[in-house]
Structure formats: structure tokens, C-alpha cells
Structure 1
């Protein structure tokens, strides 16, 4: 994704509830400037369905002062939850991060965000550190290689 993809990002966010936006971004509105800042620090992708409709955003960026550790950012459109999209994108992000030299993937989320915590457990062995109402989850990327098969999923749409 590049800053030129702002229209896709805006279309994606229009599909997301305020709760979903708050959970992922800490606010309900993002601007092109926010996207530019994110892209300066992370590699990002936008997932599209067969009709070129945006259905998810994923990003991976370095964690400061921790070489080989990257942070995962992930958001899936509200009406597309529990279809395996987030897991597939997170696995692909982990695979790419590992091939680029990362050994650990982290995510910082609300301790009550059960769907994200389940997704992270599916990526591999996790280590969870609680920080009040939040948790940091770390996933070792040892198992991710360039030949790790992508998950197979059929989508009726």
C-alpha cells in the first residue's frame, strides 16, 4: 500500500464500526496524514475481495530498540469477521517478516479482544504480558519460512 491508496483506506474505514476503529486506532477517524505516518514506519497491505472491495488492512513495522522484532497491525471489516481473512493476512505478514530477518512478531491489544488473541494463538507459540487492560503478545517466527504453505480457504463470495 502507498499513500495513493487513501481512497481504498477511506472506503475500508467506512465499512468499520466506531468500536472497531477505536479498538484498532484509538479513534474513529483517520486522515491521509495518519496513513503517511504509518507508511513511513511500516509495510502495509490492503486486502481486497473478488470485486476489488477493501476488506482488511494489515501492517508490519519494526519495534524500536528491538532488532528482529516487528509489530503487527490488523483490522478486518466488521461484516467479514470470523471468515479467516485476518488469520490469512497475519500469517502472510509473519512469513514476509521472517524472510526479511525478523524473529518475533508482536501485537499490543486490549485484553478483552478475544478474536485477536485467538488469531495470534493460531500463528504459533505465544508469550503474553499483561499491562492493565492491555496485553502484549509475542509470537516466535521460527516456523515461518518462504515455503510455509499459505492457509487454504474457500470463500463463497
Structure 2
């Protein structure tokens, strides 16, 4: 994703209720300045459905400044919750982070966000630290290290 994808981000956010946007971003929309700041700190992808409609946004970046630790940002359009979209994107983000040498993936979420907490537990061993109504979850990326990943198949072009 690049700054030129602002319209896709807006189309994605139009599929999310204000409550979920506030929980994820602390606001109901991302400005071009917000998007530029996010892209400067993280690699982001927009997940599209079969009709090229945006259905998810995932970001992985070194927010904490700790070597080998990357932060996961993930949001799925409201009408696509509980369909495995977030899990698939989080696993792909973990694979990419592990392939780039990260050993830990972190996520900061509301303690009541049980769906996200369960998703993170499916990625690997977790450690939780409570911070008021929020929780930081750290996921060990041992299973996503390059030496442990199965080889990918090449598709002839």
C-alpha cells in the first residue's frame, strides 16, 4: 500500500462502524497525513475480496524501536468478521516479519477485544501485559523463522 491508496483506505473504513474505527485508530477516519505517518513506520497491505472491494487492512512495522520486534495492526471490515480473514492476514504478516528476521510480533488492543486476543494466540506462544483497559500481546515468531518455513511452490508464468 502507498499514500496513493487513500481512496481504498477510505472505502475500507466506510465498511467499518464508528465504534470499531475508534477502537482501532482512536478516530473515525485516517487523514492523508495519518496515512503518510503510518506508511513511514510500517509496511501495509489492503486485503481485497474477489470483486476488488477492500475488506481488511494490515500493517507490520517497528513501532517500539526494539530490534527484532514488530507491531501488528489489523482491521477487518465489519461484515467479514469471523470468516478467517484476519487470521489469514495475521499469519501472512507473521511469515513476512519472521522472514525479515523479527523474533517477536506485538499487538496493543483493548482487553475486551476477545476476537483479536484469540487470533494472536493462534499465531504462537503469547505473553500478555495489561495496561489499564488495554493489553499488549507479544507473540514469539519462532515458527515463522525462515529455516522452519516450508518451501513455497513456484507457479510458472
Same fold (TM over 0.5): yes
Aligned to 2:2: 2
For residues 30 and 76 of structure 1, what CA distance do their matches in structure 2 show?
15
For residues 89 and 145 of structure 1, what CA distance do their matches in structure 2 show?
17
Structure 2: tracts of 5 or more residues without a match = 153-157
Aligned to 1:132: 132
For residues 145 and 50 of structure 2, what CA distance do their matches in structure 1 show?
27
Contact 1:95 1:148 (C-alpha < 8 Å) held by counterparts: no
Once the two structures are TM-superposed, the CA of residue 149 in structure 1 deviates from its matched residue by 8.5
Tell me, yes or no, if structure 1 residue 107 matches structure 2 residue 107: yes
Tell me, yes or no, if structure 1 residue 23 matches structure 2 residue 23: yes
Q: Number of aligned pairs? A: 150
Task: Tell me the TM-score normalised to structure 1 length.
Answer: 0.92
For residues 121 and 70 of structure 1, what CA distance do their matches in structure 2 show?
16
Task: Report the RMSD for the aligned CA atoms in angstroms.
Answer: 1.4
Once the two structures are TM-superposed, the CA of residue 50 in structure 1 deviates from its matched residue by 0.4
- Please list, as runs of the form range in 1=range in 2, the aligned pairs for 1:145-156 lying within 5 A after superposition: 145-146=145-146, 147-148=149-150
Once the two structures are TM-superposed, the CA of residue 63 in structure 1 deviates from its matched residue by 3.2
Contact 1:103 1:141 (C-alpha < 8 Å) held by counterparts: yes
Once the two structures are TM-superposed, the CA of residue 29 in structure 1 deviates from its matched residue by 1.8
Decide whether aligned partners of structure 1 residues 32 and 65 sit closer, same or farther in structure 2, where only a CA change above 3 A counts.
closer
For residues 151 and 20 of structure 2, what CA distance do their matches in structure 1 show?
30
Aligned to 2:155: none
Structure 1: tracts of 5 or more residues without a match = 151-157
Aligned to 1:153: none
Once the two structures are TM-superposed, the CA of residue 65 in structure 1 deviates from its matched residue by 3.4
